[in-house]
Amino acid sequence: MTAPHEPGTGGAPVRRFKDPAYQPQAATLGELRERIDVLDAQIVALMAQRALCVRDATRFKLDEFQVAAPARQAQVFARVRALAAAHENSFPGLSDIVESAYRALVAGFIAGEGRFFHDTERLTP
């Protein structure tokens, strides 16, 4: 019995989808990983932009409840779930994955915003 090992990145596929309409995204695993790395860089850059918006949103909040904004959270989760649903045909379950990722993302941003909230002061009219 051989020990398990990671797949090579330069070889040909060893499996195929039964669906004859399936369109491969790349010829090798290495090419796919390169595309994923590029996408990850773009995703992180977009998350950094989102983080700046979240930080700035702190200026508009009066208290910790407003920082948490549970109604806004629900809106975000429903919206990203609906956006992901448009892609369910190519990746069933994507809505669940996206919502789960956003729940973790939003929790992290709220924690960060909570720290920024303590670094602000209330304006006097």
The ranges assigned to domains in the chain are 29-117
What are the distances in angstroms from CA 106 to CA 47, 94, 99, 115?
A: 11, 18, 10, 14
* Confidence category of residue 125, pLDDT binned at 50, 70, 90: confident
Rounded Cα distance, 115 and 37, in Å: 31
Unique residue bearing structure tokens 């369109």: 23
The reported pTM is 0.88
Are the C-beta atoms of 57 and 36 separated by less than 8 Å? no
For residue 26 the two structure tokens come to 């790349």
pLDDT band at residue 1 using 50, 70 and 90 as cut-offs: confident
**Which of these CATH numbers, 3.20.20.70, 1.20.59.10, 3.40.640.10, 3.40.50.300, describes 29-117?**
1.20.59.10
